[in-house]
A and B are shown apart, each in its own frame.
Chain A
Amino acid sequence: MARERKGILEKIDDWRWLLSQEYKPGMRVPGLVFASEAMLDVIGQDQAIEQVANVAFLPGIVKYSMAMPDIHWGYGFPIGGVAAMRVEDGVISPGGVGFDINCGTRILRTNLTEEEVRPRLKDLMNQIFRDIPAGLGGSGLLRVSLKEIDEVLVKGVRWALEQEYAWPEDLAAIEGGGALSGANPDKVSRRAKERGGPQLGTIGSGNHFLEVQVVDQVYEREAAEVMGISGPGQVLAFIHTGSRGLGHQTCQDFLDVMEEAAERYGIHLPDKQLACAPINSREGQDYLGGMTAAANFAFCNRQLIAHWTRAVFQRVFGRDAREDLGMFVVYDVAHNIAKIERHRLDGREITVCVHRKGATRAFPPGHPDVSAKYQKIGQPVLVPGDMGRYSYIAVGTEQAMSETWGSTCHGAGRMMSRHAAKRSLKGVDIAQRLAERGIYVRAQDRGSLAEEASEAYKDVAEVVDVLDRAGISRKVCRMRPMGVVKG
Chain B
Amino acid sequence: MEHTADVGIIVHGADLAELFANAGAGMFALMADPDLIEEREERSIQVEARDRETLLVRWLTELLYYLDAQQMLFRRFQIDELTETRLRARGFGEAIDRDRHQLHCGVKAVTRHMLEIAPEDGGYQATVLFDI
Contacts and interface: CB of A to CB of B under 8 A. Distances in A.
A229 to B, nearest CB: 32
Interface stretch (A31-39, A300-308, A416-424): A416-424
A72 B2 CA distance: 13
A75 B71 contact: no
Given A99-B108, A135-B103, A273-B113, A195 B69 contact: yes
A7 interface: no
| The 4 residue pairs across chains A and B that have the minimum distance between CB atoms | A137-B96, A245-B68, A195-B68, A99-B109
A264 to B, nearest CB: 13
A49 to B, nearest CB: 13
B22 interface: no
Contacts of A251: 109
B127 interface: no
Interface string A194-230: 1111110000111000000000000000000000000
Nearest to A444: B103
Contacts of B61: 249, 252
Contacts of B31: 136
Interface residues of A, number: 51
Contacts of B54: 256, 259
B131 interface: yes
A447 B64 CA distance: 22
A445 B4 contact: no
Nearest to B30: A418
Contact of B32 (A48, A99, A136): A136
A396 to B, nearest CB: 26
Given A414-B4, A419-B7, A194 B105 contact: no
B104 A447 contact: yes
Contact of A72 (B5, B58, B104, B113): B5
Interface in A409-439: 414-420
A20 interface: no
Contact of B4 (A72, A98, A138, A444): A72
Given A195-B64, A195-B65, A139 B106 contact: no
A417 B2 contact: yes
B79 to A, nearest CB: 21
Contact of B112 (A75, A199, A206, A415): A75
Interface in A433-473: 444-445, 447-448, 451
Interface of B: 2-7, 31-32, 49-50, 54, 57-58, 61, 64-65, 68-69, 71, 96, 98, 101-106, 108-113, 129, 131-132
Given A139-B71, A416-B4, A206 B106 contact: yes
Contact of A255 (B2, B5, B106, B112): B112
Contacts of B96: 136-137
B105 A448 contact: yes
B65 A191 contact: yes
B63 to A, nearest CB: 12
B113 to A, nearest CB: 5
Contacts of B64: 195, 245, 248-249
A272 interface: yes
Contact of B105 (A198, A248, A252, A451): A451
B126 to A, nearest CB: 15
A114 interface: no
Interface in A122-179: 135-139
B112 A272 contact: yes
B112 to A, nearest CB: 5
A260 B50 CA distance: 10
A278 interface: no
A252 B54 CA distance: 11
A255 B113 CA distance: 12
A100 interface: yes
A359 to B, nearest CB: 15
A79 B5 contact: yes
A244 B71 CA distance: 14
Given A75-B113, A418-B132, A204 B106 contact: yes
Contacts of A252: 57, 61, 109-110
A418 B7 contact: yes
Contacts of A136: 31-32, 96, 103-106
B3 A417 contact: yes
A73 interface: yes
Nearest to A48: B4
B65 to A, nearest CB: 6
A403 interface: no
Contacts of A249: 61, 64-65
Interface hub of B49, B64, B109, B111 (most chain A Cβ within 10 A)? B109
A199 B131 CA distance: 18
Contacts of B57: 252
Contacts of B7: 417-419
Contacts of A194: 65, 68-69
Contacts of B105: 136, 205-206, 418, 445, 448, 451, 487
Contacts of A198: 68-69, 71
Given A195-B69, A414-B5, A137 B103 contact: yes
B2 A445 contact: no
Interface in A307-356: none
A74 interface: yes
A46 interface: yes
Given A135-B106, A137-B98, A256-B54, A73 B3 contact: yes
Given A418-B132, A445-B104, A445-B105, A73 B68 contact: no
